[in-house]
Amino acid sequence: MDETDISFFKDGFRLDGRRADQLRPVKIEVGVLARADGSCYIEMGGNKVIAAVYGPREVHPRHLQEVTRAIVRYRYNMASFSVEERKRPGPDRRSYELSKVSREALEPVILTTYFPRSVIDVFVEVLQADAGTRTAGINAAAVALADAGIPMKSMISSCAAGKVADTIVLDPMKEEDNFGQADLPIAMTPGGEITLMQMDGGLTREEFHQAVEMAMKGARDIYEIQRNALVDKYSQLEAPAEEVKACE
Ligand code: ADP
């Protein structure tokens, strides 16, 4: 099957009923793992992803230590049951690539110089995949880093735009990703500084600008959801006794 065999739009709506510029539903839960320093569960449409953050902690093996800063490790892993046909367990070329680009998307905002000789480990486990797992993973990891109390310059939010049937669409789902004409995931700070941009397929210059604009708008909307999820968790905690006293 190729893109000509599949109809991506019906009465102007996408296969899952969305408009071209609409995100899939996003749900974020903070602090879902008791033993991690920070954690997050995210659903972005059919993607279900958990991120766990450990650290800052001692680096093993020690020769990886950096004297002036913490190193950041990011492991993206797709569960064998996360896709339709069983995925062979364990790392592969794709997971190495996604781990690398996702780490690079987050590292610029982490204040690594606060923790010399240590490591911040980020684990991302994809439980269910439906295209856009790298963006879902980055969104969950950024929230988990904040939940772990890792000092960051800002949040990072990630979203993709794609091209199907000559139309630019936000947040492609699996059919659109697999049989579409282009995919362009980005990650950025709330201020619009881009820390990840990848692209496969082909776009004209105009389409490229339109896709970047659309993905940035999607990332801004996701930022609000990340922020609200963190505010929800931390506003439920009781303030420490001294702070209460100071307010009296
Ligand atoms: P992303 O998940 O970030 O969009 P890709 O573009 O590489 O990354 O993958 C798109 C989708 O293709 C995945 O979300 C998943 O649904 C599917 N996919 C990826 N790798 C496999 C695999 N090994 N087996 C089956 N499906 C896969």
- Cross-strand pairs, 161: 170, 184
Mean pLDDT of the chain: 94
- The pTM score is 0.94
Q: Is 134 in the pocket of ligand 1 (CB under 6 A)?
A: yes
The CB of 83 under 6 Å from ligand 1? The reply is yes
What residue's CA is closest to ligand 1, atom 23? 87
pLDDT in tens, 213-245: 999 999 999 999 999 999 999 998 776 666 555
pLDDT of residue 242: 65
Q: Which residue lies with its CA nearest to atom 6 of ligand 1?
A: 131
Give the per-residue pLDDT at 4. 53
pLDDT band at 2 (very low <50, low <70, confident <90, very high): low
pLDDT digits (tens, 9 = 90+) for 183-212: 999 999 999 999 999 999 999 999 999 999
Indicate the domain borders of the chain.
16-247
How many angstroms is it from 67 CA to the middle of ligand 1? 37
Q: Are strands 182-188 and 194-197 parallel, antiparallel or unpaired?
A: antiparallel
CA distances from 52 to 70, 160, 243 (A): 17, 23, 29
| In this structure, CATH architecture of domain 16-247 | 2-Layer Sandwich (3.30)
pLDDT tens for each residue of 33-53: 999 999 999 999 999 999 999
Residue 99 Cβ contacting ligand 1 at under 6 Å: no
How far does Cα 208 stand from its chain's mean position?
21
pLDDT of residue 22: 98
